Amino acid sequence: MNIYLATSWRNVYQAEVLAFLRHAGHEVYDFKNPVAGNTGFSWKQISEQSIETGADLRQVLAHPIAQKGFELDYQAMQWADMCVLLLPCGNSAHLEAGWFSGQGKAVAVYCPELREPELMYKCFDSPEHKTPLFVTLEALDRHIKQRSNSDRRSGT
């Protein structure tokens, strides 16, 4: 299964989860290394100054480096069959997971550490699995493989 791993740059579990899922046989997009020779998008590539206002944000979002970073991530989102939302994470990862859900693509939440409960994770409910929230990588992998087998049987 093609997986988009959505999380924060600061998430200390990202490398471990990426390696685990790849070792389990899944294709996983790594936003920190999206293509050969590219170490992913960082706001520091555009400006060392803080982004403090909406006008600042609009300006940096229009920068070619930001546009390229967005394109790489968005293409990966389109490529992926499923999103794994790795907690804890921030706004961008939650927006990505919401996009997947809106596209009718599966979302699983992996929670090795909880900082704050969120009711709206119930948006990711499906008929087969109520609130696909997992606390072990093994359970997450079983869920992904189960979804993959189900998708193959249904032809999607």
Is 137 inside a domain boundary? yes
Q: Please report the sign of the dihedral spanned by the C-alpha atoms of residue 38, residue 43, residue 46, residue 48.
A: negative
* Cα–Cα dist 140/133, whole Å: 8
Q: What is the pTM of this model?
A: 0.90
DSSP string, 23-81: HTT-EEE-TTS-STT-----GGGT-SS---SHHHHHHHHTSHHHHHHHHHHHHHHHH-S
Is 71 inside a domain boundary? no
| Predicted pLDDT of residue 153 | 67
Helix, strand, or coil (residue 85): strand
Is 60 inside a domain boundary? no
Q: Which domain holds residue 30?
A: 2-36+80-154
Q: Please report where in the chains the tokens 């992904």 appear, as a residue.
A: 144
Q: How many domains does the chain have?
A: 1
Mean pLDDT in each 10-residue stretch from start to end of the chain (156 residues)? 95 97 97 82 81 91 92 96 97 96 96 92 80 94 89 67
Is 61 inside a domain boundary? no
